[in-house]
Structure 1
């Protein structure tokens, strides 16, 4: 068998392993999106005021949860290192829980400040008064999510993506089941509105966390619970040094995307609507890359520990190709089937052609975003997350500075071209950082 044939076979095996690990994670993300849509729909039926308050709360809660989850992914290479040493893995999981409670607590404080953030950003006072107990319920959900993220990151690293998917299915069923009864209050139950939606989200988070923690206990035999035990400050700091830059990357991205939304809104109602739909499509497809990236992390770590740096680079290159093809196929399908897909997002006949015209740019943005994400996860596998954070901070920082003038000068097309270029610059720089770090 020739050397080229052997290399091709290796790449195909790696690609198959990546797809096998990534697919249930992507399905889990899609399922969670369904739960969020159900919550929004039931609140829309309850009343416009309830929906407006919920949107404001989720605008704070969503980025916080994603940032906290990003921080907990820093555990993945260390879990991979100790996967065959259960006593050591148990200690690591305890310290991971300490980190989870710390970042989850910080996130909860931010969510509790939703009203204050709303006032600073100019949200109408009647909308803020409609929040009720929602910030408190969502703050508790953040803490539960942080503990669940620690367990799910461990399960993914141990190759148990299917377990995570099943937990997601059940927790989404809880959201769907409780949303209607708590928000609208059919029968003897009172209609709780946004408070009911918050209770449903909290219950879903607790159910998800309980399932992942119990699954982890069954799989490993460890009696690790939500009580983390005695902390090892050095290991907690080590986990934080890897995870916090991942969280910072997510936070920078969300902040700059919010600026882009403002820049689009300055162009008018229609442009803002087109931007919103295009961004929703990107988010829906982009999660594939996150799933692929998580599948790549343990493969990189194991290769590095085996002194197989070629194997580490092969895992990331293959992951990038799989992400490019998977995202490219879905993006191309969106372009080809645009006339049938776009009406699902907007019933405005005047807006639909504008959205269809944006679809090629959506593909450019999401493909470049997927590539930078995979290389970022490759750096996580090497435990070198700071260069990835610097890359995002630099290129998205520049995008933030030019977003408004670019949008004013060239409209939505120029704004999305700038976003795609910023993603491409990240992909190239993170690829460079990864290959340089994987040579040492």
Structure 2
């Protein structure tokens, strides 16, 4: 478990750095102009979903690279295949971002907000392509046991986007944000590529696409991206349902949702660090042991943060709103939110365990079931029980995913090491 914690810590710090950079951008825009902030909020909502889907697809590379930890140079053909898949998913994400202005008009976004977007969608589309060009370098580094390298590209991006945004926005508005994202993304991509080359011990080069091998990667990666999109989509519906309950409750829901995202950083970092450990297991017992350690560490970290929030509740909530009524409402819902977040942390580890076994399609099916029920129930529950009912419904959905994905992991892990598709390393195979 100590080794897992050591591997997860750089990932956690990288996520914190990325989150801090995004908060600085929001703060700078909020102090610049309200319309500018509104335009950025509309675009970033789509960008976040597109980037998360691309990143989710790239995380599916872990179990294909992990077996080469002792012989990293042998992973180069897989890394080349990953680049082709990464560029394909990045191109799709970029096209979606470019569609934001016309879609915004169709959905009734005010014309002044749409006009304010200017060329930002083009810059952010370029940023997604730059991000995709790394071919999932961060996931590959984690799979090769080099998670410490992951922190530096994220720091370059976080510091770069925050500093350049503060410097360029006063004179260029959203165009300055776009320039900041592209330049910071390019810097981060350069650092990630150099780190990956160092970890592999040889140049990566560029090979012709191996269609069959790329499809093998896609069968794991694309369903993983699908689970991310489902979660983003359903939580958007939940937010819409919350907005029908009243201004105070809507604000309280927004604050609690922000806190949930921060709480999840610990569990997500542990889940990512655990993928190569599960993928390299030689037998069911080894896979389940690594998985249990990850689940225990993720839930423990979540409970520690939950305890701090319960103890410092009103003081923490005061950082997000100066409305006493909103703070009081959020404070009353805090225990229910923390229950939902803890279950979400557990299901995240269960889901990445299935990814490590190359069974992300099963995880996608479980998300369709669990979050499908949530999206159907969201509006009726909000009308009947308000946001109390919504957070209870989210806790139930996350609990159902824990059961479904946990059962699926136990079933699929029973076949580890028993067939050609097992996740044993080349050294173990010999």
* TM-score above 0.5, yes or no: yes
The reply to whether residue 245 of structure 1 matches residue 223 of structure 2 is: yes
Larger mean Cα displacement after TM superposition, 257-266 or 144-153: 144-153
Separation in 1, partners of 2:151, 2:74? 26
The reply to whether residue 311 of structure 1 matches residue 286 of structure 2 is: yes
Superposed CA offset, 1:190-230 (max 9, x none): x11011011111112111111111111122122126xx421
Shift of 1:122: 2.0
The reply to whether residue 329 of structure 1 matches residue 307 of structure 2 is: no
Alignment partner for residue 274 of structure 2, among 274, 279, 296? 296
Alignment partner for residue 153 of structure 1, among 133, 139, 143? 139
The reply to whether residue 69 of structure 1 matches residue 55 of structure 2 is: yes
Task: Check the 8 A contact 2:47/2:124 in 1, yes or no.
Answer: yes
Task: Check the 8 A contact 1:73/1:153 in 2, yes or no.
Answer: yes
The reply to whether residue 381 of structure 1 matches residue 356 of structure 2 is: yes
* Aligned 1:36-47 pairs, distance under 5 A: 36-47=22-33
* Aligned 1:112-151 pairs, distance under 5 A: 112-148=98-134, 150-151=136-137
Shift of 1:175: 1.1
Instruction: Give the length in aligned residue pairs.
Output: 415
Task: Check the 8 A contact 1:69/1:149 in 2, yes or no.
Answer: no
Give the SS at the match of 2:117. Answer: coil
Task: Check the 8 A contact 2:12/2:265 in 1, yes or no.
Answer: yes
Separation in 1, partners of 2:295, 2:7? 15
Superposed CA offset, 1:248-295 (max 9, x none): 000000000000000000111111101100000000011211111111
Superposed CA offset, 1:287-342 (max 9, x none): 21111111111111111xx2x21010011111111111110110121011102101
* Aligned 1:132-211 pairs, distance under 5 A: 132-148=118-134, 150-184=136-170, 191-211=171-191
Superposed CA offset, 1:85-126 (max 9, x none): 445411111110000000000000000001122123321111
After TM superposition, the runs of 4+ consecutive aligned structure 1 residues lying more than 6 A away are none
Other-structure match for 1:438: 413
Larger mean Cα displacement after TM superposition, 231-240 or 349-358: 349-358
Shift of 1:32: 0.7
Task: Check the 8 A contact 2:69/2:145 in 1, yes or no.
Answer: no
Separation in 2, partners of 1:155, 1:406? 43
Superposed CA offset, 1:54-111 (max 9, x none): 1111011011001100001111011112334445411111110000000000000000
Other-structure match for 2:329: 354
Kindly report the root-mean-square deviation, in angstroms, between the aligned alpha carbons of the 2 structures.
1.2
Alignment partner for residue 218 of structure 1, among 174, 177, 198? 198
* TM-score (norm: length of structure 2): 0.94
Other-structure match for 2:248: 270
Alignment partner for residue 57 of structure 1, among 39, 43, 52? 43
Separation in 2, partners of 1:328, 1:86? 36
Other-structure match for 2:424: none
Separation in 2, partners of 1:199, 1:264? 35
Separation in 2, partners of 1:143, 1:368? 34
Larger mean Cα displacement after TM superposition, 39-48 or 418-427: 39-48
Other-structure match for 2:419: none
* Aligned 1:412-431 pairs, distance under 5 A: 412-431=387-406
Unaligned runs of 5+ in 1: 1-14, 185-190
Give the SS at the match of 1:61. Answer: helix
Give the SS at the match of 1:218. Answer: helix
* TM-score (norm: length of structure 1): 0.92
